[in-house]
Structure 1
Amino acid sequence: MLGATAWRDAESSFSGKQGDVVTVRTDTVVGEARTFNRSANQPIVVDDVKEVGVDVRLNTYLYKGINLPDEQLTLNVRDFTTQIATPQAKSVARGVESLLAAQMNALTSSITLKADGTDVHTMLIEARKRLNKAGVPVEDRFFAVSAEVEAMILNDPRNKLIPVDVSGSPAALRDAIIGKLYGFVVVPTNYLADGSAVAYHRTAFPLVTRALDVPAGATFGDSVTYNGFALRLIRDYDPGFQQDRSVVSTLAGAETTKDDNVVKRALRLTTAATP
């Protein structure tokens, strides 16, 4: 779910290696408009385009491998994709989610919520104000919330959640979104620290997944995509143990965008007891 809210750069084929750095372009900056003064008899000033990029290191090799003994494959597995490959892909996808959440959990808390959640609306409006003053675009804003903060919002008798159109989004995200508040799409997740939440723009957290090349010795291999994550599926046979092996993997990395070495596109909110 979090992966669908991040700035993505997934590719199904990648010939690099673990530890490589990928530069993710988040913005194109052209600067402020200039005023032309014809009476000055001077040519216009033509500016250069500046691209804002974030270096993301692919330092995590995530995989899920499963052995399928002959008797299990023959008697129990009727649909390999549904029963084996898809659960493997989900497992790896959860690993990618945890990488992204780790970036969020590492942010210094800048807004404190009351333990009873009675000020959750006031503090989210405060977060909106701070992002506005930092010049963060108003579109593509999200509010990722832990179970505790989600309950604060849902239990509020003033329930101000607005239904949001999520057509075109991955199914996991469509099913998770509980509504929109003050311009933020509210997304619950179990990967944030208890009692915490993060208000952010999509470009605040670049996320990269890469599927490695299929090795020549694999009986079967393919680059696949699951919920937007680039994965590699390898399947072969181990005659020594009389069993098939299936491995789904990806190289992944996540980073936090900093403008002038300062995090401006995301704010972490925590209750007083949250670490």
Structure 2
Amino acid sequence: MINVNRESRGIPVQASGISAPIENPIKGDKTKFAAASDRPLPTADRRAPNGFINESRFPVQLTTLAQNGTTLSMEQVAFDLKRFGSQVLSKLTRGFAEYFDDTTAAFIKANVNRAGLTAAQKTAIGGDIAVTIPTQDGTAANMTQRALGIRTALVDARMALNIAGVPVSERYLVCGPEVEAILLKDPEFVAVDYSGDTNALRRATVGTIYTFSIVPHNSFGLEMYVFHKSAMLLASACPAIPMGAVTGSVQDINGIATRMLIDYDYGKKADTVGLDTMYGLATVKEDPDYSVRGTAIGEAFVRGLKISITEKAPTG
């Protein structure tokens, strides 16, 4: 279990009038200005009340040991191994990247939503969004209507995040290839900064729309999840390097604490190489005193939401 500090909200500011302390002591003549030495000292205490930095904590449980490994025979080491980094280590780290891609995608699908809010809280800051779009028929009008439904839902999602006070910068829209195709066919959408690699959920964006960076991923279907970068937290820690290992090290691989161990199997005359880490995922909830427009929200998840999409054949 790892305790994570939740930042304090801003210290309240007290405003008070200052007309009395800077009053012109020369009465009845607007053409003359008072010198600084003529101004009386204020009679009332003008000191601001002391605020309190109220940081709270929430736990992130390390729930999973993730690991992979490979065996290198003495023949492979002697005749085939030229560059350990590119031939062996890069394959292990790529496996980790793909694993955390899929694991993070599954976590988003299960946890990025506002289902935990009450009816009153959803009225105040908005809940999850459902949109219906026409089934695809390939016509230009149909493509426009499908994209319009998606864009309308995104505007509603943007409003819900804005009302909740979620920062505008670093917002993400994670979707499946189906939604990506609908947006790319939209004549009002301009694609920028396309990049794809094994860390799709970390860096691959196909463009931006309404301040959301669009991240397509094959784990998602006809659905969208919008959230801020701070909505989720992945905590990781490494087990200690065992005394019996031939060698070992702890490294940061794409922000994940990872242990590498190398050992020797005398029976098989082979080296074994492996990576492992202990990790846990959690959504970031607000502090207990959090409220919006007079409605108490408390420790609830509001930094993201789900947009459900349904296709329906036009009638008539």
TM-score for the superposition, normalised by structure 2: 0.71
2:212 to 178, 184, 191: 184
Instruction: Show the 5 A alignment for 1:1-275.
Output: 21-36=1-16, 40-41=44-45, 43-107=47-111, 108=113, 110-115=128-133, 116=135, 117-118=146-147, 119-161=149-191, 163=192, 176-191=204-219, 193-259=220-286, 260-272=298-310
- SS of the residue 1:121 aligns to: helix
Native 8 Å contact 2:175 2:223 kept in 1: yes
Q: Supply the distance in 2 between the matched residues of 1:165 and 1:218 (Cα, whole angstroms).
A: 43
- Structure holding more strand per residue: 1
Letter of the structure 2 residue corresponding to residue 203 of structure 1 = S
In 2, the alpha carbon distance for the partners of 1:34 and 1:100 equals 43
Kindly state the Cα deviation for residue 56 of structure 1 after the two structures are TM-superposed: 1.0
* Structure 1: gaps of 5 or more residues: 1-20
Cα offsets for 1:132-159 (capped at 9, x unmatched): 0011111121111222222221122222
1:119-140 alpha-carbon deviations (Å, 9 max, x no partner): 1111111110000001111112
Identity in percent = 27
Q: Distance in 2 between matches of 1:45 and 1:52?
A: 22
Amino acid at match of 1:84: V
What amino acid maps onto 1:75 in structure 2?
Answer: F
Alignment deviations for residues 156-202 of structure 1 (CA, whole Å, 9 cap, x no partner): 222244x3699xxx9867862111111111112233x3222211111
Structure (1 or 2) with the larger CA radius of gyration: 2
* Counterpart Cα distance in 2 of 1:103 and 1:195: 17
* Stretch deviating more after TM superposition (65-74 or 237-246): 65-74
One-letter code of the match for 1:248? L
Q: Secondary structure at 2:262's aligned position in 1?
A: strand
What root-mean-square deviation, in Å, do the aligned CA atoms of Structure 1 and Structure 2 show?
Answer: 2.6
SS in 2 for 1:28: coil
Contact 2:238 2:259 in 1 (8 A): yes
Q: What count of residue pairs does the alignment treat as equivalent?
A: 248
Q: Give the deviation of 1:52 after TM superposition.
A: 4.7
Say whether the 8 Å CA contact 1:58–1:208 is kept in structure 2. Answer: yes
After superposition, the Cα gap between the structure-2 partners of 1:68 and 1:144, relative to the gap in structure 1 and judged at 3 Å, is same
Q: Residue in 1 aligned with 2:120?
A: none
Gaps of 5+ in 2: 19-42, 115-127, 136-145, 287-297, 312-316
Deviation larger for 114-123 or 138-147 = 114-123
The higher relative CO (CA closer than 8 Å, separation ≥ 6) is in 1
Further displaced range: 171-180 or 209-218:
171-180
> Conserved in 2, the CA contact under 8 Å of 1:111 and 1:123?
yes
- In the TM superposition, residue 102 of structure 1 has moved relative to its aligned partner by 2.6
Residue by residue, what CA displacement relative to the aligned partner does 1:17-67 show, whole Å, maximum 9, x if unpaired? xxxx11233533124322145765364211111225432111110000111
Alpha-carbon distance change, 28 to 127 in structure 1, aligned in 2, over 3 angstroms: same
